[in-house]
């Protein structure tokens, strides 16, 4: 039986949409970028190499907690040990990537992006979706989207670790402080973008003050809420540039670790 815009009592129009603009462009672009990122990050996670170039560590592999990690890369020990999968050591990236992956997958902005571009639910506003049934986020697996705040909390811990990585990137391989290199700036920019992405998150906005019923009784939290609200209006921007930032940072570290590129010094203070 026909449903949706083709339901019996609605205006009988055979087109799924009458939009004349290029409504397909945005979902197509989003699909392309996210798909490319998924391919690249999967390749890097499986590569299990070129993620440590003293003092630089790739964000895909930090913190490196497994005994499979290369020497010097484990700033926080190797409590996980090693897991064999099909006779091969499981890449340390897999222990870590689940957190940023979960955080981005359940993020309110990315949900919009991939529901539109991957699942076409809907592909664009006022463009009929192809699915016959729809239950939204009311049952498994999509009900798990409600776990966003848990990934937010874990993501904050990861941000602290990546900030630590950025700070120690100002050391020389001999352990002397004050060495500003392209790598240290890249890691600093990456950590900054990740903080902006996390702090502009809707869950952060809710936790910091959004859940209040009386702003007037909590002036400090209200002030914090107004600041996070300003950041929140740019959340999609931070979502994108922090995604590019992570990939480019990893790519830079990979190039340095593989010897294709030298971590150029800028100045020493």
Residues near 157 by beta carbon (within 8 Å), at least 6 away in sequence: none
Asked if residue 22 binds other proteins (CB under 8 A), the reply is no
Exactly one of 86, 87, 233, 267 binds other proteins (CB under 8 A); that residue is 233
Cβ at position 196, least distance to other proteins in Å = 17
Burial 218-234 (b: 16+ CB within 10 A, else e): eeebeebbeebeebbee
DSSP H/E element including 178 = none
Quick check: 28 binds other proteins (CB under 8 A)? no
Compare residues 230 and 268 and give the one whose CB is closer to other proteins: 230
Instruction: CB nearer to other proteins: give 7 or 268.
Output: 7
Alpha-carbon span 119 to 97, nearest angstrom:
23
Query: Which helix (DSSP H) or strand (DSSP E) does residue 235 occupy?
Result: helix 235-257
Interface with other proteins (CB under 8 A), residue from 43, 71, 86, 138:
138
Could you tell me how many residues of this chain bind other proteins (CB under 8 A)? 55
Q: Please, are residues 128 and 17 in contact by the beta-carbon 8 Å criterion?
A: yes
Q: Does 230 bind other proteins (CB under 8 A)?
A: no
CB 179 within 8 A of CB 172: yes
Q: What is the CB neighbour count within 10 angstroms for residue 244?
A: 13
- Sort strands 88-89 and 179-181 into parallel, antiparallel or unpaired: unpaired
With respect to other proteins, which residue has the nearer C-beta, 26 or 78?
A: 26
Restricted to residues 170-209, the positions that interact with other proteins (CB under 8 A) are 202-203, 206
Q: Which of 49/226 has CB closer to other proteins? A: 226
Judged by CB under 8 A, the stretch of 30-38, 69-77, 177-185, 217-225 that binds other proteins is 217-225
SS3 123: coil
216 binds other proteins (CB under 8 A): yes
Q: How far is the CB of 39 from other proteins (least distance, A)?
A: 25
Task: Rank residues 135 and 260 by Cβ distance to other proteins and give the closer one.
Answer: 135
Q: How far is the CB of 239 from other proteins (least distance, A)?
A: 13
Q: Is 122 in the site for other proteins (CB under 8 A)?
A: yes
Q: How far is the CB of 216 from other proteins (least distance, A)?
A: 3
Q: Least Å distance between CB 8 and other proteins?
A: 8
DSSP type of residue 261: S
| 15 C-beta neighbours (distance < 10 Å), count | 8
Rg (Cα) of the chain, in Å, rounded? Answer: 22
The whole-angstrom separation of Cα 140 and Cα 214 is 34
Is residue 125 close enough to count as binding other proteins by CB under 8 A? yes
Distances in Å between the Cα of 116 and the Cα atoms of 23, 80, 130, 172 are 11, 38, 12, 46
Complex with other proteins: residue 12 or 268, whichever CB lies closer: 12
Residues binding other proteins (CB under 8 A): 3-5, 7-13, 17-21, 108, 111-112, 115-116, 121-122, 125-129, 131, 133-138, 142-143, 146-149, 202-203, 206, 210-218, 222, 232-233
């Amino acid at each position: 039986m026909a449903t949706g815009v083709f339901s019996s009592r609605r205006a009988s129009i055979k087109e799924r949409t009458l939009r004349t603009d290029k409504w397909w462009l945005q979902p197509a672009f989003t699909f392309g970028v996210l798909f490319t990122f998924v391919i690249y990050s999967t390749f890097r996670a499986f590569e299990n190499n070129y993620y440590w170039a003293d003092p630089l560590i790739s964000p895909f592999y930090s913190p490196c907690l497994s005994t499979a990690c290369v020497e010097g890369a484990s700033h926080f020990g190797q409590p996980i040990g090693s897991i064999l999968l099909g006779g091969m050591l499981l890449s340390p990236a897999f222990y870590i990537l689940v957190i940023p992956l979960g955080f981005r997958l359940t993020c309110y902005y990315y949900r919009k992006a991939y529901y539109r571009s991957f699942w076409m639910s809907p592909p664009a506003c006022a463009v009929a979706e192809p699915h016959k049934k729809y239950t939204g986020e009311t049952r498994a697996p999509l009900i798990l989207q409600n776990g966003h705040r848990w990934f937010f909390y874990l993501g904050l811990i990861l941000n602290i670790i990546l900030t630590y990585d950025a700070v120690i990137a100002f050391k020389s391989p001999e352990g002397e402080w004050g060495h500003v290199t392209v790598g240290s700036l890249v890691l600093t920019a990456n950590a900054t973008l990740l903080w902006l992405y996390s702090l502009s998150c809707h869950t952060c906005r809710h936790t910091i003050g959004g859940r209040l019923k009386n702003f007037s009784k909590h002036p400090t939290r209200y002030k914090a809420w107004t600041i996070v609200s300003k950041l929140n209006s740019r959340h999609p921007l931070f979502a994108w540039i922090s995604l590019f930032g992570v990939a480019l940072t990893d790519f830079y570290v990979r190039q340095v670790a593989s010897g294709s590129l030298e971590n150029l010094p800028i100045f020493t203070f």
